[in-house]
Copies of this chain bind each other. A is one copy, B any other.
Amino acid sequence: MDNCNSVSWVNGAPTSEVSISDRGLAYGDGLFETIRVQAGTPTLFDLHCKRLCTGATALNIAFDLEGFRQEVCDFLQGQTRQEGVLKAILTRGSGGRGYNPAGCDNPSRVLSFHPLPVYQNAPDINGVRLHECKIRIGDNAFAGLKHLNRLENVMARSEWQGTTCLEGLLLGMDDRLVEGTMSNLFLVSGKTLFTPCLRRAGVKGVCRELILEQARNWGFQVETGDYYLEGLAGADEVFVCNSVNGVWPVIACGSLDWSVGNVTCTVRDRVQEVLNA
C-alpha cells in the first residue's frame, strides 16, 4: 500500500518511528495483519485476531488480545477516513541478546492507516492475469503464519511491473502450487473448491479462511491438499483472494486461460457481502 499520509501509533502513542533495536527490524521477529476497514470498522476482525494469536503462540510472543482489540477500536475512532487499510504489526520488541529472545517480554504494536489500493478495470469483475514467478518458495518452519520474513514475496513481486498482470503465481521448490504474492489461490472443478494446504510454505490468508469456513453454506465442497500445474491447467475456474481486495477471478497464467466462471462469481459476491457488512 501507499505509505504516504498514513496516521500511525506505536504502542498506543501517535508516532511514526520505532527503535532501531526493535527485533522486527533486526530479524523480522514479528507478525502483521492488513485489515480492510469499512464504515470505520475492521472487517473479518475475528479471523485476523485469531491468526495473530496463532502466530504469537508459535513465535512465543506475548500478546494481549483484548488490549489489542481495544487499541484498534480506539485507533480507528481517531481516523478521519472511514474506509481504508489498517496495518497492524506485532514484534517481539527490543531486547534479548543477539538472536536469543530470552527476557524480551515487551512486544511492540504498530498501527497505521492507509488508503484502499485502487486498481483500474475492475479486476473483481473482469479478472486478472497472473505472472508466473520464477522464484520458488522454500518449505519452512513457519508455514501458514503472516510473519515479517517476507523477502520471498518482495522478490517475487519485483519480477514484473506494469498492469498486464496484477498478481503473481508462487510455486514451491517442487513446483507445487502455493499462493499468489499477496493472495491465496483457489482452483474450481465442478462445485468443489481446491486450495493448497500450506503445510510447508505460504500464508494462510484470512479471506481463504473465510472461504474454507463458509464454502459449504454457499453450496460448494472444499478440499485442501498439494496441487501442481496439471491441476491448474485442468481447473474449470481459478481465483485468488485476500482480505483487502476480496476475490479476483483469474483469466490467464502463462499459456493457460479461463473464463470468469459462475462459482467464482458466487464466492466473490459472498465474500464482498461479508467485507461490506
Chain B residues with CB below 8 A from A1, complex form: 97-98
**Cross-chain contact A154 with B99 (CB below 8 angstroms):** yes
A3, A20, A151 — most chain B CB neighbours (10 Å): A20
A141 interface neighbour in B2, B25, B135, B148, Cβ under 8 Å: B135
| Chain B residues, Cβ within 8 Å of A28 | 27-28, 148-151
Query: A142-159 interface mask toward B, CB cutoff 8 Å, 1 = contact, 0 = none?
Result: 100001111111111110
Residue among B99, B101, B157, B201 making CB contact with A99, cutoff 8 Å: B157
Q: Is A43 an interface residue (CB 8 A)?
A: no
The smallest beta-carbon distance between A40 and chain B, in angstroms, is 22
In the assembled complex, the CB of A147 is this many whole angstroms from the nearest CB of chain B, namely 6
* A182 contacts partner chain B, Cβ-Cβ < 8 Å: yes
A150 vs B26: C-alpha distance when bound (angstroms): 8
Which of B10, B60, B139, B182 touches A20 (beta carbons < 8 Å)?
B10
Count the A residues whose beta carbon is within 8 Å of the partner chain — how many?
61
Q: Are A25 and B151 in contact (CB under 8 A)?
A: no
Contact B98 A151 (CB under 8 A): no
Residues on B with C-beta less than 8 A from A117 are: 97-98
In the complex, A161 has a CB within 8 A of chain B: yes
A89 at interface, CB cutoff 8 A? yes
Bound Cα distance A59, B22 (Å):
22
Any chain B CB within 8 A of the CB of A136? Answer: yes
Indicate whether A18 sits within 8 Å of B17 (C-beta atoms), given known contacts A152-B140, A182-B99: yes
13 intermolecular pairs with C-beta atoms under 8 Å apart: A17-B18, A17-B19, A25-B89, A25-B91, A28-B28, A28-B150, A60-B158, A92-B154, A98-B117, A99-B181, A139-B173, A142-B151, A149-B150
